[in-house]
Amino acid sequence: MNSTLRLAAAISLASLLPLSASAAESKGSVEVVHWWTSGGEKAAVDVLKAQVEKDGFTWKDGAVAGGGGATAMTVLKSRAVAGNPPGVAQIKGPDIQEWASTGLLDTEVLKDVAKEEKWDALLDKKISDTVKYDGDYVAVPVNIHRINWLWINPEVFKKAGIDKAPTTLDEFYAAADKLRAAGFIPLAHGGQPWQDSTVFESVVLAVMGPEGYKKAMVDLDEKALTGPEMVKALTELKKVATYMDADGKGQDWNLEAAKVINGKAGMQIMGDWAKSEWTLANKTAGKDYQCVPFPGTDKAFLYNIDSLVVFKQKDKGTAAGQQDIARKVLGEDFQKVFSINKGSIPVRNDMLADMGKYGFDACAQTSAKDFLADAKTGGLQPSMAHNMATTLAVQGAFFDVVTNYINDPKADPADAAKKLSAAVKAAK
Ligand code: BGC
């Protein structure tokens, strides 16, 4: 074959092969907007991406950095206004209903998947109600996180002469004093509003108990928001804040988690996505680190359920990809591998009741056991800081007052409680 013929043959082969191969490879493309961007979170979301790509779909990653998701929500809103929402997005709690009421979410696309995969039987009603709008699924729930955790580096505790994890606020302060005296940062904490409120709601739970928490943070009852128990909770919050990392202003949660992992700090108050960073660093629960309920909250569980909503799309070809993501997300394999990487527990009832079977560690087993037990006693309450209890507007009111209070050296707890109630009232 002369060189011209060889080139012609190569071109005709090339024109057949790659094009037909790539056309056959992608069954459609779906963009997924989420805020899982720390190292550990990325490892978890990559599990879903790999499974969806294996099924032949193209995953367009719409990651928006920023713990707690406030930035992702701003991006989503502007995209929705511009008429260009992604196929799938991470949205949670009562906000799902607000989005659905705009007519932008798809109430049809998940119907068959939900029926075929028997979602109603797999999920607790409390969870399925959150992701349904007028009886139709508009989102798939991904996992359950617990907020009221305290993460401890036992090696650091030992060096500071502390022999056990604190179970009361007084023990917490005593441990924090010893950590400081031994030259450690007592409490790793990034001073971003959502992190401040993550600590605030754990303290409210400890001081007011689950019933008081519910009255103040879920029912938004004025008396509960201004009463003596809230004043006490704010007083304790101010004390907890005195132990926070002095270099933590504006810091991301995962960089603060790294300080506990690397032995610079002794403790962190954070939801169990913090575990994803420990896992990524090859650390083992119960050995290299301890997870204990935030002092005084062992009989309560502030829950946070991640979910992925489906937006209506102009391109009808996106539906198959949206359905594939939803099917994968509630599959047994994904539920196990994602939560092991993410630090959460599955949303499926059958898996929650049999965690040992799936190789979950001690933290996850405790979490599942407490989730089921606390659901029977009223101890199970939705997290305000993680969009499960209120609308984003009310959450914003809490965030402003709490962060200002923590940062104002002259702030008075009774006055802050009044401000809280007024801000919440205005945002309702
Ligand atoms: C989300 C978690 C996420 C965390 C930190 C929470 O609101 O539910 O999935 O890991 O924020 O970004």
Which atom from ligand 1 is nearest to the alpha carbon of 37?
12
**Whether 361 contacts 89, CB under 8 Å:** no
What tens digit of pLDDT does each residue of 214-243 get? 999 999 999 999 999 999 999 999 999 999
Please work out whether the CB of residue 68 comes within 6 Å of at least one atom of ligand 1: yes
**Whether 341 contacts 47, CB under 8 Å:** yes
**Cα 126 to Cα 148: distance, rounded to the nearest angstrom:** 20
**Cα 263 to Cα 427: distance, rounded to the nearest angstrom:** 41
Residue 306 has pLDDT above 80, yes or no: yes
> pLDDT confidence of 317, banded at 50, 70, 90?
confident
230 and 108 housed in the same domain: no
178 and 86 housed in the same domain: no
Q: Supply the mean pLDDT for the chain.
A: 94
Bridge partners of 62, per DSSP, are 33
**Cα 164 to Cα 162: distance, rounded to the nearest angstrom:** 6
**Structural domain includes residue 372:** no
Which atom from ligand 1 is nearest to the alpha carbon of 273?
10
Residue 45 has pLDDT above 50, yes or no: yes
Bridge partners of 285, per DSSP, are 289
188 and 282 housed in the same domain: yes
- Mean pLDDT calculated for residue range 313-327: 94
**Cα 64 to Cα 182: distance, rounded to the nearest angstrom:** 38
Please work out whether the CB of residue 146 comes within 6 Å of at least one atom of ligand 1: no
Please work out whether the CB of residue 227 comes within 6 Å of at least one atom of ligand 1: no
Residue 9 has pLDDT above 90, yes or no: no
pLDDT at site 24: 52
Query: Residue 227 C-alpha to ligand 1 middle, in angstroms?
Result: 30
Which atom from ligand 1 is nearest to the alpha carbon of 253?
5
* Residues contacting residue 306 through CB under 8 Å, at least 6 positions apart: 90, 92, 141, 142, 143, 145, 344
> pLDDT confidence of 275, banded at 50, 70, 90?
very high
Residue 130 has pLDDT above 90, yes or no: yes
**Cα 278 to Cα 113: distance, rounded to the nearest angstrom:** 35
**Cα 163 to Cα 49: distance, rounded to the nearest angstrom:** 43
Residue 17 has pLDDT above 70, yes or no: no
The total number of structural domains that make up the chain: 2
Domain that holds residue 106: 3-145+306-366
**Cα 306 to Cα 130: distance, rounded to the nearest angstrom:** 11
Query: Residue 66 C-alpha to ligand 1 middle, in angstroms?
Result: 9
**Structural domain includes residue 194:** yes
Query: Residue 285 C-alpha to ligand 1 middle, in angstroms?
Result: 20
**Structural domain includes residue 85:** yes
Q: Which CATH number goes with the domain that contains 62?
A: 3.40.190.10
**Structural domain includes residue 376:** no
Nearest CA to 225 among 401, 387, 378? Answer: 401
What tens digit of pLDDT does each residue of 155-186 get? 999 999 999 999 999 999 999 999 999 999 99
Minimum mean pLDDT range among 4-13, 72-81, 198-207: 4-13
Which of 338, 366, 394 is the endpoint of a domain? 366
Please work out whether the CB of residue 41 comes within 6 Å of at least one atom of ligand 1: yes
**Cα 427 to Cα 188: distance, rounded to the nearest angstrom:** 31
Which residue type sits at 162? I
Please work out whether the CB of residue 40 comes within 6 Å of at least one atom of ligand 1: no
331 and 422 housed in the same domain: no
297 and 317 housed in the same domain: no
**Whether 358 contacts 187, CB under 8 Å:** no
**Structural domain includes residue 378:** no
Residue 2 has pLDDT above 70, yes or no: no
> pLDDT confidence of 129, banded at 50, 70, 90?
very high
Residue 340 has pLDDT above 70, yes or no: yes
408 and 351 housed in the same domain: no
**Structural domain includes residue 99:** yes
Tell me which residue has its CA closest to atom 6 in ligand 1. Answer: 68
Which atom from ligand 1 is nearest to the alpha carbon of 145?
8
Query: Residue 68 C-alpha to ligand 1 middle, in angstroms?
Result: 5
Please work out whether the CB of residue 189 comes within 6 Å of at least one atom of ligand 1: no
> pLDDT confidence of 25, banded at 50, 70, 90?
low
Query: Given the DSSP bridges, would you call strands 265-269 and 185-188 parallel, antiparallel or unpaired?
Result: parallel
Residue 11 has pLDDT above 80, yes or no: no
> pLDDT confidence of 316, banded at 50, 70, 90?
confident
**Cα 279 to Cα 62: distance, rounded to the nearest angstrom:** 24
Query: Residue 12 C-alpha to ligand 1 middle, in angstroms?
Result: 50
What tens digit of pLDDT does each residue of 197-215 get? 999 999 999 999 999 999 9
Which atom from ligand 1 is nearest to the alpha carbon of 66?
12
- What is the layout of strands, in order, in the sheet containing 185-188? 185-188, 265-269, 149-152, 290-293
Nearest CA to 421 among 212, 227, 229? Answer: 227
- Mean pLDDT calculated for residue range 13-25: 44
- Residue 262, classified by CB atoms within 10 Å of its CB into exposed (0-12), middle (13-18) or buried (19+), is exposed
- Mean pLDDT calculated for residue range 81-91: 97
**Structural domain includes residue 412:** yes
- Mean pLDDT calculated for residue range 104-128: 97
287 and 400 housed in the same domain: yes
**Structural domain includes residue 343:** yes
pLDDT at site 14: 38
Residue 16 has pLDDT above 50, yes or no: no
Query: Residue 276 C-alpha to ligand 1 middle, in angstroms?
Result: 11
Structure-block tokens of residue 59 = 């995953």
Tell me which residue has its CA closest to atom 11 in ligand 1. Answer: 68
Q: Which residue among 36, 143, 276 is best mutated to probe the pocket of ligand 1, counting the most ligand atoms within 8 A of its Cβ?
A: 36
* pLDDT more than 70, % of the chain: 94
Query: What is the three-state SS of the chain?
Result: CCHHHHHHHHHHHHHHHHHHHHHHHCCCEEEEEECCCCHHHHHHHHHHHHHHHHCCCEEEEEECCCHHHHHHHHHHHHHHHCCCCCCEEECCCHHHHHHHHCCCECCCCCHHHHHHCCHHHHCCHHHHHHCEECCEECEEEEEEEECCEEEECHHHHHHCCCCCCCCCHHHHHHHHHHHHHCCCEEEECCECHHHHHHHHHHHHHHHHHHHHHHHHHHCCCHHHHHCHHHHHHHHHHHHHHCCECCCCECCCHHHHHHHHHCCCEEEEECCCCHHHHHHHCCCCECCCEEEEECCCCCCCEEEEEEEEEEECCCCCCHHHHHHHHHHHHCCHHHHHHHHHHHCCECCCHHHHCCHHHHCCCHHHHHHHHHHHHHHHHCCEEECCCCCCCCCHHHHHHHHHHHHHHHHCCCCCHHHHHHHHHHHHHHHC
Structure-block tokens of residue 376 = 């029977």
Nearest CA to 280 among 35, 90, 32, 37? Answer: 37
